[in-house]
Structure 1
Amino acid sequence: MTNNRLRCLIISISIGLIVLFIVGAIIYLARQSERKTIDYDACPRPTQFATDYDFDYTKKNNEYRNTNSSIDYFRLSLSWSPTFCKAQANAKNLFQCQHSFGFIVHGLWPSTFKKGSSLHSHNSHPRNCRDEKPMPIEIIRKYFCMMPSENLMQGEWEKHGTCYWGKPEEYFEQIKSLHSKINMPNDIHEILNGESSSKRASIRQSFLKLNPELKSEHIDINIGNKGKTLKEIGFCYDRSFNHIACNQNM
């Protein structure tokens, strides 16, 4: 009888320890997941963030305000960082260009369809709907991996985010949600430096292979320099943030 009781006690203690281990592991993994979501510790950040990143469209050449256009779709634009940096005279002073970023988020843009047969320009889209104060540096730090520039983040929030979202956190969370669902190819450098007769087609295929939910028309690729230089890649969404064809909206 004593041996049975001892055996039961040992089994109970063992089960208790296993349960505690499992619960502890779940809590640890949950906290790790939350930490990664909030901090993005895998990417570089400046040792000192800028403090003068406010945006005022009235002081920018070629900027305008448009609060009258409808919002028919959204465009997530990803910039190819090497091309951007190559074109900047002050690239060595830009944090983005001091590190090996590939695609970065340029912005998420509320946009309007073409109306009838009228010409459709960039001025047709909603823009600079509200003048906002500089967002807290905590928001800059939280999403810096996606958009490694304080000025870029503040500018995109004011130029585009204010036309649909109430707070910068809502804007950048929507960007993060869409961006996180796109698997990025690792062979873009190889394609651009290779002998492919159509770099646009090769880049498109790389994205399609890694993202089976995408269709060819969901991806808009902006290439310049006679098809040699990748500038940006756009993904288009309806008002429920489901993929739609980009070409019909250009």
Structure 2
Amino acid sequence: MRALSVIPLLLSVWPAAAPAQDMAGDFDYYVLTLSWSPSWCRATGDARDADECERGSGLDFVVHGLWPQYEQGYPEYCDTDERDPSRRETQAMADLMAPGLALHQWKKHGRCSGLSAAGYYDAMREAADRIAVPVLFDGLSRDIALPPAVVEDAFLEANPDLTFDGTTVTCQGDALREVRICLTRDLDPRRCAPDVRRDCSRPRVLMERVR
């Protein structure tokens, strides 16, 4: 019986198993995330003097990222043999997102896609091109407060291929934050897994006017 007393000591010095590394290309579907630019500017961008938050920028919904997902959870910062994008490649994304964000999205999410940096950026651009922003929000000229369901319904109406269980709206405080759209690996609409469907629970969300 005395020998059992060494077991806690052995357990305390035995190295813990390292967490499994997420593998590039091993995922189930994508989430295309569109941020409401005025909300991001108020929460973050203004403090950074971000160019996209200047008056006259005219930005409404902007691409935040294209995120590989598992049916539960998601991979991030995967090991990949693909090189990081060049400055020219991230600068070429400036019409879609800030170059610094483009680099961050590649490092955190793009490396998990199994694509090259150029291929990932092409996929992000193609996914964004397939989604129409509702006319209701195009160049919004005044602050409005809407139920989140109205925002979601507007996207469903503008994009007949989207479904209720494949689109979700998130908020931060009193403001609309993002619209998230679930897509297959071929960038076709699909349902979101339950952990992605976290709709904003506020009765109304603020959509500040476009700057």
Fold shared per TM-score above 0.5: yes
Residues 130 and 206 (structure 1), Cα distance of their counterparts in 2 relative to 1, 3 Å cut: same
Pick from 77, 90, 102: which aligns with 1:140? 90
Query: Hey, what does 1:170 align to over in structure 2?
Result: 119
Distance in 2, Cα, partners of 1:89 & 1:104: 13
Q: Distance in 1 between matches of 2:115 and 2:188?
A: 21
Contact (CA 8 Å) 2:79, 2:111: kept in 1 or not? yes
How far, CA to CA, are the matches of 1:77 and 1:206 in structure 2? 16
Structure 2 residue matching 1:239: 3-state secondary structure: coil
For 2:63, what is the secondary structure of its paired residue?
Answer: strand
Q: Distance in 2 between matches of 1:214 and 1:193?
A: 24
Question: Quick one: higher RCO (CA 8 Å, sep 6+), 1 or 2?
Answer: 2
Unaligned runs of 5+ in 2: 1-18, 197-211
Contact 2:79 2:112 in 1 (8 A): yes
Equivalent residue for 2:39?
83
Shift of 1:138: 2.7
Larger helix fraction of residues:
1
Deviation at 1:136, TM superposition (A): 2.3
CA distance in 1, matches of 2:185, 2:108: 19
Percent identity among equivalent residues?
A: 25
TM-score, length-scaled by structure 1: 0.61
User: Structure 1 residue 229 and structure 2 residue 175: aligned?
Assistant: yes
Structure 1, residues 164-211: CA drift from partner, whole Å, max 9, x if none?
2332110011111111011112323479614x4x2x111112112211
1:95 to 48, 51, 67: 51
Partner of 1:104: 62
For the 8 Å contact 1:127–1:163, the answer to whether it is kept is yes
Larger radius of gyration: 1
* Structure ranking higher in strand proportion: 2
Output aligned runs, 1:40-189, within 5 Å.
66-67=21-22, 70-88=26-44, 90-91=46-47, 93-98=49-54, 99-114=57-72, 124-130=73-79, 135-147=85-97, 149-188=98-137, 189=140
Cα separation, 2, equivalents of 1:109 and 1:191:
31
How far apart, CA to CA, are the structure 2 residues paired with 1:105 and 1:88? 16
Distance 1:216 1:89 in 2: 31
Give distance in 2, aligned partners of 1:175 and 1:245. Answer: 19
Q: TM-score, normalised by structure 2?
A: 0.71
The amino acid that maps onto 1:96 is E
Residues 183 and 75 (structure 1 numbering): CA distance in 2 closer, same or farther, change over 3 Å? same
- Range with greater deviation from structure 2 (228-237 or 181-190): 181-190
Distance 1:94 1:71 in 2: 33
In structure 2, relative to structure 1, the CA distance for the partners of 1:193 and 1:177 (3 Å cut) is same
Within 5 Å, give how 1:184-195 maps onto structure 2.
184-188=133-137, 189=140, 193-194=144-145
CA contact (8 A) 1:191 1:202 kept: no
SS of the aligned residue for 2:176 comes to strand
Please, which of 159, 184, 187 is the counterpart of residue 241 of structure 1? 187
Retained in 2: the 8 A contact 1:91–1:97?
Answer: no
